[in-house]
Amino acid sequence: MDAQVTPVAVLILAVLSGVTGEVVRDVLCGEFPPLLLREEVYATAALAGAAAYLGLHWAGVPDTANTAVSAAPVVTLRLAAVFRDLHLPRLQRVAR
């Protein structure tokens, strides 16, 4: 944000950063393929947190409070995914 990039660039970089950390963790834990390649909500949670951060930044919320508040949707979505076994919908192939 300090580099004056567009909001879309901020969202893309935030999602890439969040997802990369998850993939590295999966590889180090011996999960293959990484859970990201399945129907997990890593990217969705990262996108929700980044969007919340952008919105709060535009609203003028101080950075410390903004960081704490925008982490809430990420943590909530990931905990819901783990403890409630929530997944993104899978695309179904249509039989011909």
Tens-place pLDDT, residues 44-88:
889 999 999 999 999 999 999 999 999 999 999 989 888 988 877
Could you state, in order of their start, the residue ranges of all structural domains in the chain? 7-83
pTM for the full predicted model? 0.78
- Return the pLDDT at 9: 94
Please, what is the average pLDDT of the chain?
85
Section 14-36 average pLDDT: 78
- Return the pLDDT at 93: 73
pLDDT > 70 in the chain, percent: 89
| Nearest alpha-carbon partner for 19 in 4, 38, 1, 5 | 38
Give the list of residues 6+ apart from residue 29 with CB closer than 8 angstroms, or none. Answer: none
